[in-house]
């Protein structure tokens, strides 16, 4: 099992979504959510958690999310739009390094 720092564990346990308050329902199909997925993966996973860019997903939709690039890009765009409502475009670019709105 991979070691996780206490800071990362706390971040994972406090995940929230700017898209919904109901983390028990899949945001795509409304079934029971089994996972809370960070919209931006890899090096930006912790930034997704920090800025509440997470979505509740059932196992089926979670698999679709990771297998379908157009679906990921849709959520990247939506996340950028919501982030910029609260912060700014400049801050989004500084943190995530890519513009998904164009």
Name, in order, each residue with C-beta under 8 angstroms of 9's C-beta and a sequence gap of 6 or more: none
Whether the per-residue pLDDT at 19 is higher than 80: the answer is yes
Task: List Cα–Cα distances, 65 to 24, 26, 35, 72, 98, in angstroms.
Answer: 17, 12, 12, 6, 19
Structural domain boundaries in the chain: 6-96
Residue 3's pLDDT band, with cuts at 50, 70 and 90, is low
Distances (CA, A) of 25 to 14, 43, 83: 17, 27, 22
Of the pLDDT bands very low, low, confident and very high (cuts 50, 70, 90), residue 29 is very high
Under the banding of pLDDT at 50, 70 and 90, the label for residue 2 is low
pTM: 0.87
């Amino acid at each position: 099992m991979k070691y996780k720092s206490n800071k990362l564990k706390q971040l994972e346990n406090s995940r929230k979504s700017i898209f919904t308050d109901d983390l028990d329902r899949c945001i795509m199909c409304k079934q029971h959510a089994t996972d809370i997925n960070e919209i931006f993966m890899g090096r930006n996973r912790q930034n997704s958690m920090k800025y509440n860019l997470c979505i509740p997903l059932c196992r089926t939709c979670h698999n679709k999310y990771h297998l379908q690039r157009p679906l990921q890009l849709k959520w990247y765009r939506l996340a950028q739009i919501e982030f910029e409502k609260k912060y700014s475009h400049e801050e989004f670019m500084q943190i995530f390094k890519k513009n998904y709105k164009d």
